[in-house]
Every structure is written in C-alpha cells, then in structure tokens.
Amino acid sequence: MGKCTIFRGMIIVARKGVTAQELDSIRERVERLGLRTHLSIGESRTIIGCIGEESRLRSVPLLSIPGVDSVHPVMRPWKLAGRDFAADPTTRIQVGPHLFGGSACLVAAGPCSVEGEEMMMETGRAVAGDGAALLRGGAFKPRTSPYSFDGLKEEGLRILARVREETGLPVVTEVLDPRDAELIAGYVDMLQIGTRNMQNFALLREVGQLQRPVLLKRGMSATLKDLLLAAEYVMSKGNMQVVLCERGIRTFGTEMRNTFDLAAIPWLKQETHLPVVADPSHAGGRRDLVAPLSFAAVAAGADGLIVEVHPDPGNALSDGDQSLAFAGFTALMRDLGAFAEAAGRKL
C-alpha cells in the first residue's frame, strides 16, 4: 500500500468576461479526470476550485482552455476553506433572512439550554426586540458530568421551532450525535458543532452531508490550523456553509473560564473566506466581561457574535454566571452600535 497523497488542490481563475458556457466546459474538463470542482463567483473575479488527485491535471493544458486566465496550486493544508479558494474575501452564508459575511454584524442570542417554552418565548421576544438576528438555545447539551442536566432533546427542538414561528428569528442549536443530525436539521436553521466535538470527525462528516449552515466552534485546545481543517471536513463532504467561532481557549489562566484568543479573528479573516464570529460569553465566563469582549471582537473584524441571554440568570440550569439578563442585552446592543460603525458594519 502506498504513502498518503499529500494533497494540494488547484485554483483556476477565470478570465474577465468568462461565459457560463466556458465555465461549464472548464469544470467538465476537470471533473472528467475524477476531481471535484467548486465554483465561486465574486464581485470582481470568478474562481473554479479543484479538489482531488491533482497529478491528473498535469497532462491537461489548462491555460489553453477558453475562459481560463491563470492556474494556482493551493499550498496550505486546507483547500476549500482557504481564502484563495473563494472569489470574495468573505463568503456570504444565508441563515433565514440574514447573511453572515456581509456588511452586517449578526448577533445570535439566547440561553445556554432550552429549559421550557415560556422562557424561550420570552427570551426570543426580548432579543428580537433588541435587534438580535438569531435565537440560540441548546436542546441536546454536552455536559462534563453524566449526572448534569443534558437538555430537553426533541421537545426542545419543537420549542425552538415555535419561537421561530412567533418571532421570525432563525434558530441555531447544537448537534452532538451524528444519529441526531438529520432530525435536528429538520427543525432548525443552523447546526452548531460545539467545542468538545470540533474534532469529532464522524459528526463533521455527517453535517457535511446536510444542506444546513454550520456554526463550528473552536476546540478548547485547537490551533487555528486544526480549526480550518475541521471546517475542511465539513466542506469536503459538500456543505460549504460554515461559520467559524472563536470562543476562548484553555490556558494556564485561572481568573476567567477561558482565554479569549481575540487575535484568532483577524488571523482567520486573512486565511479563510469563511465568516468568523465570537462567543464572548464562554470566552470570559463572566457576565461583566460580555460587553467589552463583544466590542473588541467587532473592532477586530468579527462578522457576528453569539451571546448567552437568560430571563433569570441566577436560576439558569447551566452557564448562569456568564448569561446576560434582558436589560444587560439591551445595553449591549445599544453600545455595540458605535463599535460596529467604527468597523464599517451595521448592527
């Protein structure tokens, strides 16, 4: 048995004014050799990404195919996730009526756990009124101890769906088990992969086969390369709708729950075309840090935030210390505007 292929991938940049027919025939030519192609049409350029056994391309005079302007190998270990692989600096990913990766800063808000319909409905109305773009809430909860509350399961999904109907907010929730992925995708608008599952490759492949946007949270000791390769797992199965999330890493620090690796945001914006959001609630683990971390994330270029909000944080079933009450969320959204504007975004 041979050594692993060190796989590089290839990018074909199309000539300005390339026609749809030309694009089709370029892709057909590449796919005939057993490679997969991905078309990315941006504001100023068009790109055909090629994934597969690149050595087969060597025999093809690619530059002489009509519509081809130039051809570039992809040197990084991530291909589909790499910034060069897309025509625009940031890919737009639609969730409900909103676009991640555009000029808006999208805020997802809601409790750690879906604890019941009333509290979810109340939260949904409150955060919608303050300008949140999505509702978050866990129906299947990963817990460090097997004896902790682990969520309402499908009943939680039904609650999320009813709150969406009522408030118009698209809904994001976590999936833990590949066997639940399809069920969950039937209820919600965006699937979250949690920090403990960032390298659960069976799960990544499963959500890669669904056509639902994925919110991929960074593992607590994952390098940024690991994160991009996890995104690559999802994308390599065909689902290109991945939003990355910095949520703090595990370091020697003891004063806060995690260490918010803010610099990950601009680093990722340079390396990938995928939108990047931040989770200031888990990053700091303290309610009073949520606002300054949110301001900083947006100042550093984040495409959005995911914030824990609970009607009564002192009695939350999980993560109460880091959840904002409604008044705190209202204040956050009010103050965030100036930073979003300084960063050239609308809230």
Backbone angles phi, psi at 110, to 5 degrees: 155, 180
Distance of alpha carbon 265 from alpha carbon 268, whole angstroms: 5
In single-letter form, the type of residue at position 337 comes to: G
Smallest separation, CB 188 to its own copies (Å): 18
Q: How far is the CB of 215 from its own copies (least distance, A)?
A: 18
In the complex, the smallest distance separating the C-beta of residue 289 from its own copies, rounded to whole angstroms, is: 6
Return the closest-CA partner of residue 169 out of 141, 188, 185.
188
Minimum separation from the CB atom of position 130 to its own copies (A):
18
Q: Would you say the C-alpha torsion 177, 180, 182, 186 has a positive or negative sign?
A: negative
Q: What is the β-pairing status of strands 10-14 and 68-73?
A: antiparallel
- CA atoms lying within 13 Å on the CB side of residue 256: 22
Smallest gap, in angstroms, from Cβ of residue 23 to its own copies?
25
Q: Given the complex with its own copies, which of 97 and 344 has the nearer CB atom?
A: 344
- In the complex with its own copies, the residue whose CB is nearer, 134 or 297, is 297
DSSP three-state, residue 60: coil
Smallest gap, in angstroms, from Cβ of residue 89 to its own copies? 14
Q: What is the DSSP letter of 82?
A: B
Q: Are 315 and 74 in contact (CB under 8 A)?
A: no
Report, in angstroms and rounded to the nearest whole number, the Rg of the chain calculated over CA atoms: 21
Residue closest to 126 by CA, chosen among 281, 289, 295, 312: 312
* 11 versus 68: smaller Cβ distance to its own copies: 11
Residue pair 330/130 in contact (Cβ under 8 Å)? The answer is yes
Task: Phi first, then psi: give them for residue 13, nearest 5 degrees.
Answer: -90, 130
CB of 302 to its own copies, least distance (A): 10
- CB count within 10 Å of CB 17 equals 8
CB of 195 to its own copies, least distance (A): 9
* Cβ count within 10 A of residue 315: 10
